[in-house]
Chain A
Amino acid sequence: MAVSERKSAMIWAAAWFVGACFIYFVAIPIGIEEPSYATQSPALFPRVMAVTFGTLAVVLFVLEWRGFHTRNIENISPWFFVAPAVAAIYALLLEPIGFLITTGCALAALLLIFGERRPSTILIVSGVTAIGVHTIFVYLLHIPLP
């Protein structure tokens, strides 16, 4: 279903406002303890930022409602989540499987996503990059990798 750009912008602004409220009423009270010895509360600045964020979200909502475009909004297609999913799986598997194999597989997946279809190119780029990065970091720079 098509959603107008104006409505998309208003939904975004509403979402930001809800996020700001969550930060102010939930995250800060749970996440910051207020010691009795402190003359200034460590929660003061985070509260100020949350209020600023929420207020500006309301301003954005009103601006869009009244027809002032703030910036172009792009719709999110299902394909948006593919690359982040590959990246997340790669990060999770880095330690259990190891850098070389995980990196080779992740590179192959990303090359396929970016449109490369030749198996030889995928194998060469994945293999050379994984081995090359591993060699540079571990043997030249002495930085251990998973």
Chain B
Amino acid sequence: MLADIGSAIALVLTWQALLWITIGYSLGALLGAIPGLTGILGIALLLPLSFYLPPWVAIPMLVAIAKGSSFGCNIPAILLNTPGTPAAAATCIDGHKLALQGKGSKALKVNLYAGLCGDLFSDIVLILSAGLLAQLALRFGPAEYAAIMLFSLTVVGAVSTGAVTKGIMGAALGVLLGMVGTDMITGVARLDFGVLELTGGINMIALMIGLLSLAEIFLQAERLLSHKHSDGIRRETIPQSSHPDDSRITREDWPLVIKATAIGSLIGTAIGVLPGIGQSVAAFVGYGEARRFSSKPERFGTGTVEGVAAPEAAASAVNGANMIPLLALGIPGDVTAAVLLGALLIQGLAPGPLLFEEHRVTVFALFAGMMLTNLIHVPVGLLFIRAATFITRIKLSHMLPVIFILCVAGTFALNNSLFDVFVLVVAGFFGALLRKGGFAPVTIVIGFILGPLLENSVRQALLISQGRYLTFLERPISLLFIVLTLVSVVGSVVHARRANRRRGTRAESPATSNLQ
């Protein structure tokens, strides 16, 4: 065993492996930073090259692309409120607020180190207990998935600071939008009104970029045209604080970051082990749980380092944990893992229980390669942060139109479809309208991601149990998550009532005010 591990490490510690993994990570970070482009594109670009590389270089290189993308997508999320992927939408909430306070560098560094810890934690769990966790994952059926999705929806309360009613409304609207397209169970068309492009549903990335990024651009345009600014100061560039504590993680920040990272890493690893859930769910659940366990939850949403660390740690932890069902059972957890499955088969490695027996040294080498990726994460990430802070020197009046074009090009690139561009523009318009009405569009994104997963799981569970709703209460794991959901909802209501009583938010009288 030790000899096998030694052989594996010797295979990976070569200049060739280091070079290709660095290239993969950098490509992933670069693609992740452009809205609409994801690590999948990078994997697809380098997949043919992987034919000519040994498996202990090829597979870690492809995994490095995914990890790089997971980091890169948070750069525009933090600096420009433009998430590169749905998982980064959770980082936008507090990350962009920090950037607006001139603490963009701090937020990016928190993102970098939290991502590293999340990756490391899940890789170690993968190495130590892949087989055991894979067997546990097999116990999760549709009822358990439904309960987890229901629990995940409670994160809406966490991101709807001060307006939980509107948060739930936004989530309901998002769930409704997620139901557009062909019904997975019966095969009938739902709410597509005969539009062919809607048969497969609304494109998630187009909707998300529209609601979050384009809406922001439209609102900025309105403010500049009407010479109104929410902070009363004409902001030419993204604020850059000159105080040294605002560009680094201070001694006061570290305990908060460590706690949030630990929570996010655990959640991301647990969710990553279950096929089909993905980084975006992990990021939002990580955010919600970090807020729940925070000593000052009211700070979430105003620009707190915990709100950046938790979702990034959770999303990054999914990368390694996703490999558990893939390697142990041959079940890909998401699209990235599905492409990696193809890469493994090309290399002659058939995932499953026998993989660990027949290709022991190669599997250990894969693990070593994944750990090497984590070593590269920090120096390459710091270089990207240095390059990214250059963005803060560019005038917003120049940068926002360029971001708009990148959003359009990236959205078009998803399916070579102009319809997705129309979805992007319409979503941007409605996102801006919703923000005028006091809604947080991110709640729509949450509902859109989680709603269809919840509905399909509930309906599958009911089909299996022949219509018995009690099945959700009879299965112990499902019952556990339902109880956790109830506790979470009751806790949020109690907390909100206490906060309202302390603030005294009831209006004295319906005063007339002129907002013009």
Contact = CB atoms under 8 A, between A and B. Distances in A.
Contact of B218 (A80, A115, A143): A80
Nearest to A41: B186
Given A42-B183, A53-B176, A107-B402, A144 B416 contact: yes
A70 B218 CA distance: 24
B368 interface: no
Contact of A33 (B189, B405, B413): B189
A98 to B, nearest CB: 12
B165 A56 contact: yes
B495 to A, nearest CB: 17
B303 interface: no
Given A53-B169, A60-B165, A141-B41, A46 B191 contact: yes
B510 to A, nearest CB: 5
B214 to A, nearest CB: 7
Given A4-B511, A49-B172, A27 B221 contact: no
A63 B462 CA distance: 37
Given A82-B222, A91-B418, A72 B398 contact: no
Interface in A112-131: 113-116, 121, 125, 129-130
16 contacts: A28-B191, A35-B186, A38-B186, A39-B467, A40-B463, A45-B179, A46-B191, A49-B175, A56-B169, A73-B436, A80-B436, A83-B218, A83-B221, A110-B404, A111-B398, A115-B224
Interface in A24-73: 27-28, 30-35, 37-40, 42-43, 45-46, 49-50, 52-53, 56-57, 59-60, 63, 67-73
A146 B418 contact: yes
Contacts of B398: 111, 114, 116, 121, 125
B167 to A, nearest CB: 10
Contact of A83 (B222, B397, B436): B222
Which one of A53, A69, A87, A103 has the highest number of Cβ atoms from chain B below 10 Å of its Cβ?
Answer: A87
Nearest to B228: A77
Contacts, number: 211
Q: Which 10 A-B pairs have the closest CB atoms?
A: A71-B438, A83-B221, A110-B401, A114-B397, A79-B225, A31-B191, A2-B514, A71-B163, A67-B507, A42-B183
Nearest to B174: A49
A63 B463 CA distance: 40
Nearest to B182: A42
B413 A143 contact: yes
Interface stretch (B279-287, B377-385, B420-428, B485-493): B420-428
Contacts of B217: 83
Given A12-B437, A32-B188, A103-B405, A67 B463 contact: no
Contacts of B506: 67-68
B391 interface: no
Contacts of B397: 111, 114-116
Contact of B421 (A70, A77, A91): A91
Interface string B223-257: 01110000000000000000000000000000000
Contacts of B511: 4
A106 B405 contact: yes
Which one of B176, B455, B513 has the highest number of Cβ atoms from chain A below 10 Å of its Cβ?
Answer: B176
Interface in B453-490: 455, 459, 462-463, 467
Sorting the interface of chain B by its residue count into under 10, 10 to 19, 20 to 34 or 35 or more gives 35 or more
B169 A2 contact: no
Contact of B412 (A16, A60, A146): A146
A46 B226 CA distance: 39
Contacts of A91: 408, 418, 421-422, 424-425
A105 to B, nearest CB: 11
Contact of B404 (A2, A34, A87, A95): A87
A114 B45 CA distance: 36
Given A70-B438, A80-B222, A4 B512 contact: yes
B177 to A, nearest CB: 9
Contacts of B401: 106-107, 110-111, 114, 125, 129
Contacts of A43: 190
Contact of A63 (B165, B183, B416, B439): B165
Which one of B175, B432, B435, B510 has the highest number of Cβ atoms from chain A below 10 Å of its Cβ?
Answer: B510
B185 interface: yes
Contacts of A90: 408
Interface in B173-211: 173, 175-176, 179, 183, 185-186, 188-193
Contacts of B214: 87
A138 to B, nearest CB: 10
B292 interface: no
